[in-house]
């Protein structure tokens, strides 16, 4: 049998009370613009519940690189993401911090649940050193680069009330879902071509 994933272990504490997916706040919602509060006052169970709410929400939306608590109206410094982009490896990232390892930046296309029907080309640090707490309270320090560093920076920005259109150098907004889907496929191909994984 496969070992339980981090999120499956968290779900064990909730038995029949698995939270429902939450609606995404979008664009001008003021809660997307707040500086979120550090997780200091929450019990482990409350922190696990928020993680699970984010997880259920991203699953219901068909998956994604990450989702931050403010995007569903919870102003806490927590996001979920997967460092290899699979639902099974999603983990909660609590009270994150990061610093660039070098000044070098790179651009690539990003999308966001809080900015529907759009893609933006955004400059991000190429390599970062990050730290965060796990759901069990362990302190993690890690170096990230490429798309991993990008996702971390994108989700971190949500905790400071920043959305990617604030800093992108090219924003494409789509009316037609088919055009958005074509663009999504093009972005994916570009990412693969560039070995940007
Ligand atoms: Ni986002």
Residue 12 is predicted with a pLDDT of 93
pLDDT of residue 162: 98
Domain assignment present for 109: yes
- Report pLDDT for 186: 96
Choose the catalytic residue: 17, 56, 155, 179.
155
pLDDT given at position 123: 97
Q: What's the confidence (pLDDT) of residue 42?
A: 79
Beta-ladder partners of 120: 110, 171
Q: What is the DSSP secondary-structure string of 49-70? A: HHHHHHHHHHHHTT--SEEEGG
Assigned domain for 115 exists: yes
Find residue 144's DSSP bridge partners.
Answer: 128
Whether 155 is catalytic is yes
Would the pTM of this model clear 0.85, i.e. be above it?
Answer: yes
CATH number, position 69: 3.90.45.10
Three-class SS state of 92: strand
Give the chain's residues under pLDDT 50: none
For 97, the domain range is 6-193
User: How many angstroms does the Cα of residue 101 sit away from the middle of ligand 1?
Assistant: 23
């Amino acid at each position: 049998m496969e070992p339980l994933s981090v999120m499956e272990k968290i779900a064990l504490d909730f038995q029949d009370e698995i939270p429902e997916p939450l609606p995404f706040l979008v664009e001008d919602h003021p809660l997307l613009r707040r500086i979120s509060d550090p997780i200091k006052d929450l019990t482990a169970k409350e922190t696990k519940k928020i993680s699970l709410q984010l997880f259920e929400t991203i699953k219901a939306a068909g998956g994604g690189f990450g989702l931050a608590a403010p995007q569903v109206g919870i102003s806490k410094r927590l996001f979920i993401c997967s460092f290899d982009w699979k639902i099974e490896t999603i983990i909660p990232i609590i009270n994150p911090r990061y610093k660039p390892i070098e000044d070098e930046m790179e651009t690539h296309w990003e999308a966001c649940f809080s900015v529907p029907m759009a893609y933006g080309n955004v400059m991000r640090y190429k390599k970062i050193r990050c730290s965060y707490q796990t759901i069990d309270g362990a302190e993690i320090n890690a170096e990230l680069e490429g798309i991993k560093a990008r996702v971390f920076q994108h989700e971190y920005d949500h905790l400071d009330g920043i959305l990617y259109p604030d800093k992108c150098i090219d924003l494409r907004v789509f009316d037609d879902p088919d055009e958005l889907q074509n663009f999504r496929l093009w972005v994916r191909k570009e990412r693969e071509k560039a070995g940007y994984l």
